[in-house]
Copies of this chain bind each other. A is one copy, B any other.
Amino acid sequence: MSSFHEECGVFGVYSRETNDLASMTYYALFALQHRGQESAGIVVNDDGVFTYQKGEGLISEVFSTDNLSSLGKGNIAVGHVRYATTGAKLLQNIQPLIVNHHKGRMALCHNGNLSNSYALRTRYEEQGAIFHTTTDSEVISYTIVQERLSHGSIEKAVSAAMDMIEGAYSLVISSPQKLIAARDPHGFRPLCYGETDDGKIVFASESCALDAVGARLVRDLLPGEIAVVDSGGIRFDTSHCHICPKRFCVFEYIYFARPDSVIDGASVSRCRRMAGRFLAQEHSVDADIVIGVPDSGLEAAIGYAQELGIPYAIGFTKNKYIARTFIAPEQGQRAQGVGIKLNPIRDVVDGKRVVLIDDSIVRGTTCRRIAGLLWNAGAKEIHMRVSAPPFKCPCYYGTDIDSAEVLIANRLSVDDIAKEIGVTSLGYLNIDHVRLLTGEDTGFCTACFDGNYPTVIPSDTAKNRFETKISEKKQV
């Protein structure tokens, strides 16, 4: 129930034989849909000829039987789902980004955010470059193409570009003949690869996409690793590995990723249950029932319940027909109808001391509304437990919180937050427990909790100075 968002999901596949890779990519993107619901695109590369479909909306809206079949067959395909931040819902920003350059075409899919995008872009513009989009991804593309001038191969150009770009990036790139995947040296965002029984190599943001296309998970790319697939098979370039400590985004485990995914060897489902157990150890309470806020709070609730031996229950019915296109026709009515998305099950909570597990508190408004639902349904006590530490600092690595002022944990103490959202007690997961979610200290980025940013903070945090003006204007 978090109100912040992941920005993207990426996918790529290489097939020795020409094949219907459009359908395969469609299924993979469908499994990655939770990582971005605002636009989607697929590029099929048939021996250097790129055909694509892109559009706004869910992939079930963007793709049809007709337009998928119009993509034809190919031996490489890449796909992308996107959540766009303010001001950037522009048609041409939809990925994969396709560019033409002196060596042919290149299609690029990017998950993450650069921290030096503005600096790079300004430098290129001063040399006369033009940019069509307002995305970091175009800066990455431009850097690769520039480096290609002095390096003989696309993979060397990617490697050279990685010396220049900084921040969070998981990339899947198709050149005319090769499929390349790369993960930034901090490993902020996930990127795994797998194989199908008939020898196709696939890359995806999460392993659930591999399941969806019948591929076996081999492993995650290492932070800094580059993988290149062509007719000669798969090769790895680890020259950017271990140049800095791993800083994987812990919210991938807590909230973003699908529970059936396995990231860097750890099951997302297990990590969430572990978060619940840690929470129980830190903030135990005498209660009748443990419930979770759907969907990402459910597994932590089960862990919490099992650690303390309190019964677990399903406390809410979530309306599964809520869609991107759901409209709220009348504001007054809506306030009246608080149970539109989430309705508490009175029989479960009425007269009970309830433990309520959620994955985060951003501004606090959603939490207060949920607590209100439970009080109305007869809860006697509400003990809120959050399966993450207080969220205090903006993220520059691919999520959409960019303003510290809106974060309730910056304004209020834990006790005051509890009062503000109207719960009996409140407990957050301790940051030391967070570090052990996967069972060992694997190296997480904790910047959003403690402000320890692994990179220089971008000088211009706004995505684009022209965009900024637009969004300023729109707000007026």
A residues neighboring B (CB under 8 Å)? 20, 22-24, 26-27, 30-31, 33-34, 37, 46, 48-51, 54, 58-61, 63-65, 68-69, 72, 91-92, 98-102, 104-105, 122, 125-132, 134, 141-142, 145-146, 148-149, 208, 211-214, 258-260, 262, 267, 269-270, 295, 298-299, 302, 306, 311-314, 316-317, 319-321, 323, 325-327, 329-330, 333-334, 336-340, 343-348, 464, 466, 469-470, 473
Specify how many copies of this chain sit in the oligomer: 4
Instruction: Check A336–B129 contact: CB distance below 8 A.
Output: no
CB < 8 Å neighbour of A267 from B128, B316, B347: B347
Please name the residue on chain B nearest to A473 by beta carbon.
Answer: B49
Contacts of A262 in B (CB 8 A): 346-347
Residue from the list B141, B321, B325 in contact with A130, Cβ < 8 A:
B141
Q: How far does the alpha carbon of A58 sit from the alpha carbon of B61 in the complex, in Å?
A: 14
Residue of B nearest to A102 (CB): B125
Write 9 A-B pairs (CB below 8 A) sorted by A numbering.
Answer: A48-B466, A60-B323, A63-B327, A99-B131, A102-B126, A126-B149, A130-B141, A132-B132, A260-B343
Min CB distance, A431 to chain B, in Å? Answer: 24
Q: Which of A146, A298, A469 has the most CB of B within 10 A?
A: A469
B337 in contact with A213 (CB, 8 Å): yes
- Give Cα A464–Cα B101 distance, bound, in whole angstroms: 12
**SS class, residues of chain A in contact with chain B:** mixed
Contact B101 A339 (CB under 8 A): no
Complex Cα spacing A216 to B311, Å: 29
Closest to A64 in B: B327
Chain B residues with CB under 8 Å of A306's CB are 311
In the complex, given contacts A50-B466, A92-B92, what are 13 additional A-B residue pairs having Cβ atoms less than 8 angstroms apart?
Answer: A31-B340, A34-B321, A91-B92, A100-B125, A100-B466, A128-B145, A130-B141, A132-B132, A211-B339, A260-B345, A295-B320, A312-B312, A320-B320
Check if A299 sits within 8 Å of B314, measured CB to CB. yes
Q: Is the CB of B132 within 8 A of A60?
A: no
A212 touching B340 by the CB < 8 A rule?
yes
**B325 touching A132, Cβ below 8 Å:** no
Q: How far is the CB of A319 from chain B (nearest CB, A)?
A: 7
Is A270 a contact partner of B337 (Cβ separation < 8 A)?
Answer: no
Question: What residues on B are CB-neighbors of A59 within 8 Å?
Answer: 321
Q: Which chain B residues lie closer than 8 Å to A212 at the CB level?
A: 337, 339-340, 343
Q: A100-B132, A267-B346 are in contact. Are A333 and B299 (CB under 8 A)?
A: no
Complex interface: chain B residues within 8 A of A333 (CB) = 20, 23-24, 27, 213
Contact at A122–B102, with CB atoms within 8 Å?
Answer: yes
B residues near A125, Cβ cutoff 8 Å: 100-102
Chain B residue with minimal CB distance to A72? B473
Chain B nearest Cβ from A294, distance in angstroms = 10
Contact between B130 and A260, CB atoms less than 8 A apart: no
Which residues from chain B contact A65 at a C-beta distance below 8 Å?
327, 329
| Contact between chains at B101 and A131 (CB < 8 Å) | yes
What separation, in Å, do the CA atoms of A46 and B49 have in the docked complex?
Answer: 39
A321: which of B20, B33, B325, B330 is its contact (CB, 8 Å)?
B33
Closest chain-B Cβ to A396's Cβ sits at a distance in Å of: 21
CB distance from A42 to the nearest CB of B (A): 11
* In contact, B214 and A337 (Cβ under 8 angstroms): yes
Instruction: Give complex CA distance A33, B100 in Å.
Output: 30
CB contact between A466 and one of B49, B267, B270 (< 8 Å): that residue: B49
Bound Cα distance from A66 to B223, whole angstroms: 46
Q: Write the nearest CB–CB distance from A270 to chain B, whole angstroms.
A: 5
Assuming A333-B27, A339-B212, A347-B267, is B128 touching A148 (CB within 8 A)? yes
Q: What is the chain B residue whose CB lies nearest that of A122?
A: B102
- The listed residue (B98, B131, B347) touching A270 by CB distance below 8 A is B347
In order of increasing CB-CB distance, the 10 nearest A-B pairs are A267-B347, A102-B125, A260-B317, A214-B336, A99-B130, A23-B329, A211-B339, A23-B330, A100-B131, A33-B321
How near does chain B come to A436, taking the closest CB pair, in angstroms?
17
Asked whether, in the complex, the Cβ of B329 is within 8 Å of the Cβ of A26, the reply is yes
A348→B260 CA distance, assembly (Å)? 9
In the complex formed, the residue of B with least CB distance to A126 is B102
Q: How far is the CB of A338 from chain B (nearest CB, A)?
A: 7
